[in-house]
Structure 1
């Protein structure tokens, strides 16, 4: 049978679909409950980097310049780069993208994010991994949307390649984060599969390397703890840099519209934007709250060395960070836990 990208993607999907399923949760801690993130902060201050500023004089900064893994929280940089390119008329939001070209960057190790992206865009996927019709069309703006809402790695990598690293770096400088990483998600996942670094561009063009990846899929660590060493070596950045980019997001016309939720908001709030991320042992949160009076609160919280049981309570951390921006009392508790 002739080897094609569709066969490769399908094979990776079948091989990799369950690789990120966690093992059974550990027994509950007798000292810190799984959803007690403030208690975890107190016990793990060296594994937390945070900047939280409510825009009204309340501010917490803890290890703000220490580099830690960013996971998918870094994708706000891709959004800023895209919005900047649209503003400069380097690209058009409606530019058509063939689904097959998008899926060249897909490796079935994203916890189902790509499948959610296909579903959101109304694209049929019988095999549960890739689109039935690789010739179907989406737009650049569609990719920006699913990159943020569903954390699609392939969309982020496609946008990066289409925009170019120079555009990404200019956006980082404009957003106040000049040393921001510009990762290749595909490249990092290939490192997990192959246990070595390879040029993702070579992978895209080399069928022999693609076959090697398929052959190595069964050897990928299948447990949470098995993937933690790899996650420690992924792209890193600072809470201060991520925080500055969220605060500067209004400099990138169109970006807040992709980032913000504008329904079911607290009184006085015009929008709440969020982009977080997670890898084995890592949970990251980037958040901004915009009030009708023009005030903006922003937060960046990076955690590492998170055990598997606590990993499952990530939504509680997101809620804690959000509440710290909305409620001065919650912000004080946040500060005390890191003091």
Structure 2
């Protein structure tokens, strides 16, 4: 069955679709709208792969390294599911990977699980048990980098590298978000942050002087882990089709209603100052598997504030041929 316009809007939650794409799908020439205008004016800052599984696809700078932000987290999800690891961990183990500078993601993740946190950064009860699957869910819902780092720490780097190979993305970056944040605070790498109390005290002492504004954090965000749209797209194809990863599909698709003609969608995105990144997949009832990955660099603050509309556009381009044509025209 075809993907209908009504079903698409229901699935993506596009509230202002007419504004975003400038009119009715299937109509004649349309006004581009602010996101498509920005993409057209900044093609050298965009890397994109959109493949609906049939018909024309979009490929734009697919191998260019771009910042990934939390769009990398499906790698952690796959490593966790493939490991078969179960059981709870103390909330304190989760909290120790949190340094702040995450726009409240960790605090929101704690609240989602009903864990009280007076200071908004750590659990009041450090022994509160947290299931690893709940951490995986928090990683998708909130982009909580502390959850990603805890999974990396427990599973080990070899497990994530093995998962990257299985996902068809062997050169995926495997690095802890905490390491990047410590480098921001200290101006140098300090991998002993978790184990050396002297380094931790130095970090806490210098944290108040750390840049915290959007513009102040952009130079640092440029140095965080990079990857390609091609690699992220290949990973999402494996996530959509690998029979060993059903829970990954459930985590990535949670809360997303699939429109008519689509069996399921999954999406994971990330944002840092100046950076927006989204990867996703769709499994169509006619047997097709579609993937999308769009990575943006040097995004100004006013466009960054419209990140939700960007996410809607990216998923819409995968599900709606007219939106894909708009995106292709913007990047042509």
Given the superposition, is the C-alpha separation of residues 264 and 248 from structure 1 closer, same or farther in structure 2, using an over 3 Å criterion? closer
**Paired residue for 1:126?**
118
Contact residue 69 and residue 232 of structure 1 kept, 8 A = yes
**Paired residue for 2:162?**
170
Distance 2:277 2:32 in 1: 17
Contact residue 256 and residue 265 of structure 2 kept, 8 A = no
Q: Which runs of 5+ in 1 are unaligned?
A: 1-32
**Paired residue for 1:44?**
42
**Paired residue for 2:138?**
146
CA apart distance, 1:190: 0.6
Q: Residue 316 of structure 2: which of 301, 309, 323 is its match?
A: 323
RMSD (Å) for aligned C-alpha atoms? 1.6
Normalising to structure 1: TM-score of the pair?
A: 0.85
**Paired residue for 1:285?**
278
Q: Residue 57 of structure 1: which of 49, 55, 58 is its match?
A: 55
Deviation per CA, 1:2-27, whole angstroms, max 9, x where unpaired? Answer: xxxxxxxxxxxxxxxxxxxxxxxxxx
Contact residue 32 and residue 326 of structure 2 kept, 8 A = no
Distance 1:225 1:262 in 2: 33
- Number of equivalences: 299
1:231 is aligned to 2:188: no
CA apart distance, 1:325: 0.9
**Paired residue for 1:269?**
262
Distance 2:183 2:43 in 1: 30
Distance 2:97 2:121 in 1: 13
Contact residue 190 and residue 199 of structure 2 kept, 8 A = no
CA apart distance, 1:292: 3.1
Distance 1:125 1:302 in 2: 34
Q: Which runs of 5+ in 2 are unaligned?
A: 1-30
Deviation per CA, 1:140-171, whole angstroms, max 9, x where unpaired? Answer: 11111111111111110110111111111111
Given the superposition, is the C-alpha separation of residues 315 and 35 from structure 1 closer, same or farther in structure 2, using an over 3 Å criterion? farther
291-300 or 160-169, larger mean C-alpha shift = 291-300
Normalising to structure 2: TM-score of the pair?
A: 0.87
CA apart distance, 1:35: 6.2
**Paired residue for 2:250?**
257
Distance 1:269 1:116 in 2: 31
**Paired residue for 1:82?**
80
Distance 2:283 2:112 in 1: 26
Moved segments of 4+, more than 3 Å: 261-265
**Paired residue for 1:210?**
200
